[in-house]
Amino acid sequence: MSASTSAGLPFLKGHGTQNDFVIVPDPDGLLDLGPAAVARLCDRRAGIGGDGLLRVVRSAADPEAAALADRAEWFMDYRNSDGSIAEMCGNGVRVFAHYLVRAGLAKPGPLAVATRAGVRQVVVADGDSGEVTVDMGRALLPGPDGIEVMVGDRSWPARNVNMGNPHAVAFVEDLDQAGNLWTAPLTSPDGVYPEGVNVEFVVDRGPRHVAMRVHERGSGETRSCGTGACAVAVAAARREGIDPAVTGEPVTYTVDVPGGRLVIAEHPDGRVEMTGPAEIVAEGVIEPGLLSG
Ligand SMILES: N[C@@H](CCC[C@H](N)C(=O)O)C(=O)O
């Protein structure tokens, strides 16, 4: 069944720290959701509205994830609101796992989720808290030195952090300095981010406590970014000269985002663990016309 011929497609709406998603269950991989259909669904005026879309599909039923099917039953097919594809979404994977449990497709507790960045181990808390912890894998810090991000006539040094998807993390004096983040900040030198980049602006709030704003590649300014919060925590630790692989001790940062709070722990073995909320707020049926344009 292609998206253009489906008759009324069930959806849900959810968010994690107000990074919001259209959730489209497609367990058997029957949908062909192209970029234009995704962008229409995510449109906040003419569609349902969301920073991104989570298609919920069995790994075995999707050619992109079939090789991971023996490790993770479900594949998070994440798309940005402009219809582009991203490797990973941290808030999305919490909402995805929360949806699976709510729908009776998984049990609370440990759960493996396949993503384009590999399999992520998730723990969905039992009960009504909506809290989800995710092993986000290792952060890569590929450099180079001397990266800058620019908004208008201002620029700041930034660190390149890869959480499966690319980030540029800049520490600023005041989050308002970044101005309007709907337009993508520029980065230099050219060529560091050939696939585009998510840009985080960060201020200190206290010991191991920071706050951030983000411009997300493919979505604009959002009220939270889970991979971004992980990148920020790792950049904040290195800025303080802390590397858990060297100290042998985990380091934990509280990261405030406009839509709430995430807690990020980096472990001596390099694993970055994110804990935060996930909520489903609505469900309904998509009119076929929205899918076909
Ligand atoms: N909001 C997400 C990140 C979504 C992907 C990102 N826009 C990209 O293109 O890499 C998160 O919570 O991590």
Beta strands, E only, the chain = 9-16, 19-25, 52-58, 74-80, 109-115, 118-124, 131-138, 148-151, 154-162, 166-171, 186-188, 198-206, 209-216, 220-222, 251-257, 260-266, 271-277, 279-286
Task: Tell me the C-alpha distance between 107 and 70, whole Å.
Answer: 18
Q: How far, in Å, are 30, 139, 170 from residue 110 at the CA level?
A: 27, 22, 34
- Rounded average pLDDT over 51-63: 98
Q: Is the CB of 81 under 6 A from ligand 1?
A: no
pTM exceeds 0.90: yes
Residue 1 scores a pLDDT above 50: no
Q: How many Å lie between the centroid of ligand 1 and the Cα of residue 89?
A: 4
pLDDT band (50, 70, 90) for residue 192: very high
261 by DSSP, 3-state: which? strand
- Rounded average pLDDT over 101-110: 97
Q: Is the CB of 219 under 6 A from ligand 1?
A: yes
Q: Specify the DSSP class assigned to residue 288.
A: H
Pick the atom of ligand 1 nearest to 80's CA: 7
Interhelix angle 90-102/226-239, nearest 10 degrees: 130
- Rounded average pLDDT over 200-212: 98
Residue 175 scores a pLDDT above 80: yes
Residue 4 scores a pLDDT above 60: no
Q: Is the CB of 97 under 6 A from ligand 1?
A: no
> 9-130+278-292, what's its fold?
Diaminopimelate Epimerase; Chain A, domain 1 (3.10.310)
> What is the per-residue pLDDT for 3?
45
Residue 5 scores a pLDDT above 70: no
Q: Which residues are catalytic?
A: 89, 225
The highest-level CATH class for domain 148-276 is: alpha beta
Q: Where along the chain do its domains lie?
A: 9-130+278-292, 148-276
Closest CA to 98 of 115, 121, 62, 122: 122
> What is the per-residue pLDDT for 292?
87
- Rounded average pLDDT over 120-143: 95
Binding site members: 19, 80, 90-91, 165, 198, 216-217, 226-227
pLDDT band (50, 70, 90) for residue 206: very high
Pick the atom of ligand 1 nearest to 214's CA: 1
Question: CATH topology of 9-130+278-292 equal to that of 148-276?
Answer: yes
Most informative mutation of 54, 89, 98, 120 for ligand 1 (most atoms within 8 A of CB): 89
Pick the atom of ligand 1 nearest to 227's CA: 13
> What is the per-residue pLDDT for 130?
87
Binding site members for substrate: 19, 80, 90-91, 165, 198, 216-217, 226-227
- Rounded average pLDDT over 215-244: 98
Q: 234, 241 in Cβ contact below 8 A?
A: no
Specify the residue with its C-alpha closest to ligand 1, atom 4: 89
pLDDT band (50, 70, 90) for residue 63: very high
- Rounded average pLDDT over 203-215: 98
Q: Quote the mean pLDDT of the chain.
A: 96
Task: Report the percent of the chain where pLDDT is more than 70.
Answer: 98
Query: Tens digit of pLDDT for each residue in 228-238?
Result: 999 999 999 99
Enclosing H/E stretch for 289:
helix 288-292
- Rounded average pLDDT over 161-182: 96
247 by DSSP, 3-state: which? helix
> What is the per-residue pLDDT for 6?
54
Radius of gyration for the alpha carbons in the chain, expressed in angstroms and rounded: 18
- Rounded average pLDDT over 115-126: 97
Task: Tell me the C-alpha distance between 280 and 99, whole Å.
Answer: 7
